[in-house]
Chain A
Amino acid sequence: MIFRMFLPITFASTIAASVVFGEGLGDAGKGTKIFSKCKSCHRIGNGAINRVGPHLNGIFGRKAGTIVGFAYSKSMVRAGVDGLVWTAETLDAYLENPKSLVSKTRMNFRGLKNPQARADLLAFLRGYSDEPINIPEAEPTATKTDLKIDPAILTIKGDPEYGEYLSGECKTCHQSGGEDDGIPAITKWPEEDFAIAMHAYKQKLRQHPVMQMMAGRLSDEEIAALAAYFKDHE
């Protein structure tokens, strides 16, 4: 599976990303070229309009899912309502693996695994936000809450039996049949996506008070166990 192959790189890069932020956002010139990957759906610059994706002017500091008139996924709107704001840190996480941050985003993009490429792209995007000079190179939270997902954590093999027991707590709200009825579905996620999402709540990168609380007390083994269980959940 392609996704699995990418994994070790993904997590290694997550850690590297915070280092990059610490040193600056990257090379905007190189970012211009990387933006060609985005151009089929997104416009940026003078008079940019929404296309398949929303325009990206002023993306820094914008609340997710809030351009009036653009038909966002329910997931994206919910993420915004829950408090997701686009910053260097959140954009970096989103670009790395869109679905790990916003489960059912319509952005059909596998993710940019190379941390330097993301840093370059962010430097390019930053030029189209208001007063880019005022956008800190590194958000205070980005340095404070450095994503500290040790790659080893993501290689933990979860115990699905323990996961099944723990899942009882999830199923009070999330329907085991996988329906999305006001609360998102969590079944049949790739194990890695599930684990990253839970770690993102645990580190308060994903914004939802209930989920931050629930994930906050799960150990790495317990997150792996849940991921292992829900992966095959019928």
Chain B
Amino acid sequence: MKMNRRSFIGTVTAATATLSAPMVMGSGKPRVVIVGGGAGGATAARYIAKDSKGGIEVTLIEPSRAYYTCFFSNLYIGGLRDINSISHSYGTLATNGVNVVHDWAIGVDRAAKTVSLAGGGTVPYDKLILSPGIDFVEGAVEGWDTSAQNAMPHAYKAGSQTELLKAQIMAMPQGGTFAMVAPPNPFRCPPGPYERVSMVAHLLKANNATAKIIVADPKPKFSKMSLFQEGWAEHYEGMIDWIGEDFGGGNVSVDPAAMTVTIDGEVTKVDACNVIPAMKAGHIAHLAGVTDGNWAPVNSADMSTKADPDVYVLGDSSQQGDMPKSGFSANSQAKVCANAVRGALTGSKVFPAKFSNTCWSLIEINDGVKVGATYQATPEKIAKVDGFISKAGETAEVRKATYEESVGWYTGITADMFG
């Protein structure tokens, strides 16, 4: 099985694809086509439709009808959220001037300026925005490919994979072992694997207090490392064994049939295993021919690709410089891109690019931490301007306020994406 974005909803989208044939074009208005309805694509669609006030025909191609945010999916694993609370529909976008086409984009003809759909037909564009998230690098973890994703879920595209991983953790025998194979840089959501470790530990502490967590990590350090390690020692003492690069964490293979993980030659039998492989740009970016290696290089002023001024890439798939791959970043980039695309098509005023990002992570209930930065467009890349990070040893009330702030942010950004 070939891995692609949200493969788990394949049956749903196959059934709906034929119902959602491409819109009839020909209004004479400029046409923007957006592929991928996550933090980048949904935001871009919403802002272009909203700000052009009907002056631009906006089509969003997104196979799934329910979008599960990757951000906050760890809180579902920890039992702090139910799965429905991270699910969002495209209904509001569809009633606010966005043609939402539930289908797979399977090709881009940049000469003809069309996108072809799995359900048949093509959609013409004047400007194309690709925001397809991530795919996994084949062969990145020895012994694992996407056919093994049911035995050892990645759960790095939220939805049924997340539910599967949680079910497997809940089914672990008392005193059992959970293993995570962490990804190399760069990858989606730098603190994500470590927030996940925290939430798994939280879940196990309540249900399976003698269980163990092993993390095999090819990196020598990770995002907010000292904050996570401080929190793990405080809340989950003795439960988490993080094996970094120095101790062979990068020398790892898995056997999904036998449920074993081999780290630096040592074989461990595990009861649940989360494999998060190395990542690359979503498949359609490669098909469109705008990638160079694993990612799509873009111009920092407007997110247009280096390969084609009429094709833009947002979020995780883009190679833009200093911003982390996060939903917040994608949302921020989308607004800069929307402003530029609207200006190019309708002559509306184009304002200078400003980018920002904040990543909140939850270590334990009411123990939230954050890291953030602002960025500007330079000729070379999107460059960091200023930043901050939570401090070690903050009071419980600061950490609680940080967590509450993250909850507010979740409501804010999802409203900003989906209306």
Measured CB to CB, the residues of A under 8 A from B are 78, 81-82, 161-162, 164-166, 168-169, 171-177, 179-183, 209-210, 212-214, 216-217
Q: Which residues of B contact A179 (CB under 8 A)?
A: 411
Which residue in A165, A173, A209 is a CB contact (below 8 Å) of B409? A173
Q: Which residues of A contact B358 (CB under 8 A)?
A: 173, 210
Q: By the criterion CB–CB under 8 Å, are A165 and B412 in contact?
A: no
- Could you tell me the distance between the alpha carbons of A212 and B387 in the complex, rounded to whole angstroms? 10
Q: By the criterion CB–CB under 8 Å, are B386 and A173 in contact?
A: no
Q: By the criterion CB–CB under 8 Å, are A181 and B47 in contact?
A: no
Q: Known contacts A169-B335, A169-B354, A216-B386: does B416 contact A176 (CB below 8 Å)? A: yes
Q: Known contacts A166-B354, A168-B335: does B415 contact A213 (CB below 8 Å)? A: no
Q: By the criterion CB–CB under 8 Å, are A172 and B412 in contact?
A: yes
Q: Known contacts A162-B351, A172-B328, A213-B372: does B405 contact A182 (CB below 8 Å)? A: yes
Q: Does B28 count as interface, using CB distance less than 8 angstroms? A: no
Measured CB to CB, the residues of B under 8 A from A are 47, 51, 328, 331-332, 335, 339, 349, 351, 354, 356, 358, 370, 372-374, 385-388, 397-398, 401, 404-409, 411-413, 415-416
Which residue in A81, A168, A176, A210 is a CB contact (below 8 Å) of B388? A210
- Could you tell me the distance between the alpha carbons of A169 and B328 in the complex, rounded to whole angstroms? 10
How many residue pairs link A and B with beta carbons under 8 A? The number is 87
- Could you tell me the distance between the alpha carbons of A165 and B337 in the complex, rounded to whole angstroms? 11
Q: Known contacts A183-B409, A217-B385: does B374 contact A161 (CB below 8 Å)? A: no
Sample (16) of A-B pairs whose CB atoms are under 8 Å apart: A165-B339, A168-B332, A169-B335, A169-B356, A171-B412, A171-B415, A172-B332, A173-B358, A173-B408, A176-B416, A179-B411, A183-B408, A183-B409, A213-B386, A217-B385, A217-B386
Q: By the criterion CB–CB under 8 Å, are B408 and A181 in contact?
A: yes
Q: With both chains docked as a complex, state the minimum distance between the C-beta of A78 and any C-beta of chain B, in angstroms.
A: 6
Which residue in B373, B374, B413 is a CB contact (below 8 Å) of A172? B413
What is the interface of chain B mostly: helix, strand, loop, or mixed?
helix
Q: By the criterion CB–CB under 8 Å, are A183 and B385 in contact?
A: no
Q: With both chains docked as a complex, state the minimum distance between the C-beta of A105 and any C-beta of chain B, in angstroms.
A: 17
Q: By the criterion CB–CB under 8 Å, are A81 and B398 in contact?
A: yes
Q: Which residues of A contact B398 (CB under 8 A)?
A: 81
Q: With both chains docked as a complex, state the minimum distance between the C-beta of A38 and any C-beta of chain B, in angstroms.
A: 28
- Could you tell me the distance between the alpha carbons of A81 and B411 in the complex, rounded to whole angstroms? 21
Q: Which residues of B contact A175 (CB under 8 A)?
A: 408, 411-412, 415
Q: With both chains docked as a complex, state the minimum distance between the C-beta of A209 and any C-beta of chain B, in angstroms.
A: 4
Q: With both chains docked as a complex, state the minimum distance between the C-beta of B415 and any C-beta of chain A, in angstroms.
A: 6
- Could you tell me the distance between the alpha carbons of A99 and B107 in the complex, rounded to whole angstroms? 54
Q: With both chains docked as a complex, state the minimum distance between the C-beta of B178 and any C-beta of chain A, in angstroms.
A: 30
Q: With both chains docked as a complex, state the minimum distance between the C-beta of A180 and any C-beta of chain B, in angstroms.
A: 8
- Could you tell me the distance between the alpha carbons of A28 and B208 in the complex, rounded to whole angstroms? 63
Q: By the criterion CB–CB under 8 Å, are B401 and A81 in contact?
A: yes
- Could you tell me the distance between the alpha carbons of A169 and B51 in the complex, rounded to whole angstroms? 15
Q: Which residues of B contact A162 (CB under 8 A)?
A: 349, 351
Q: Which residues of A contact B407 (CB under 8 A)?
A: 181-182
Q: Which of A82, A169, A182: most chain B CB closer than 10 A?
A: A182
Q: Known contacts A183-B408, A209-B388: does B374 contact A173 (CB below 8 Å)? A: no
Q: Which of B351, B388, B412, B415: most chain A CB closer than 10 A?
A: B412
Q: Which residues of A contact B397 (CB under 8 A)?
A: 81
Q: With both chains docked as a complex, state the minimum distance between the C-beta of B100 and any C-beta of chain A, in angstroms.
A: 21
Q: By the criterion CB–CB under 8 Å, are B401 and A78 in contact?
A: yes
Q: Which residue of B lies closest to A212 (CB)?
A: B388
- Could you tell me the distance between the alpha carbons of A182 and B400 in the complex, rounded to whole angstroms? 11
Q: Known contacts A169-B335, A217-B374: does B409 contact A182 (CB below 8 Å)? A: yes
Interface pairs A-B: 6 shortest CB-CB: A182-B408, A183-B408, A168-B335, A209-B388, A182-B404, A81-B401
Q: By the criterion CB–CB under 8 Å, are A213 and B416 in contact?
A: no
Q: Which residues of A contact B351 (CB under 8 A)?
A: 162, 165-166
Q: With both chains docked as a complex, state the minimum distance between the C-beta of B376 and any C-beta of chain A, in angstroms.
A: 8
Q: With both chains docked as a complex, state the minimum distance between the C-beta of A66 and any C-beta of chain B, in angstroms.
A: 10
Q: With both chains docked as a complex, state the minimum distance between the C-beta of A117 and any C-beta of chain B, in angstroms.
A: 34
- Could you tell me the distance between the alpha carbons of A172 and B332 in the complex, rounded to whole angstroms? 8
Q: Known contacts A82-B401, A165-B339, A213-B388: does B372 contact A172 (CB below 8 Å)? A: no
Q: Which residues of B contact A217 (CB under 8 A)?
A: 354, 374, 385-386
Q: Which residues of B contact A182 (CB under 8 A)?
A: 404-409, 411
- Could you tell me the distance between the alpha carbons of A212 and B416 in the complex, rounded to whole angstroms? 22
Q: By the criterion CB–CB under 8 Å, are B411 and A214 in contact?
A: no
- Could you tell me the distance between the alpha carbons of A214 and B86 in the complex, rounded to whole angstroms? 27
Q: Which residue of B lies closest to A66 (CB)?
A: B397
Q: Which of A174, A175, A212, A216: most chain B CB closer than 10 A?
A: A175
Q: Which residues of A contact B404 (CB under 8 A)?
A: 182
- Could you tell me the distance between the alpha carbons of A180 and B356 in the complex, rounded to whole angstroms? 21
Q: By the criterion CB–CB under 8 Å, are A172 and B416 in contact?
A: yes
Q: With both chains docked as a complex, state the minimum distance between the C-beta of A230 and any C-beta of chain B, in angstroms.
A: 14
- Could you tell me the distance between the alpha carbons of A162 and B350 in the complex, rounded to whole angstroms? 9
- Could you tell me the distance between the alpha carbons of A199 and B88 in the complex, rounded to whole angstroms? 36
Q: Which residue of A lies closest to B390 (CB)?
A: A209
- Could you tell me the distance between the alpha carbons of A57 and B328 in the complex, rounded to whole angstroms? 44
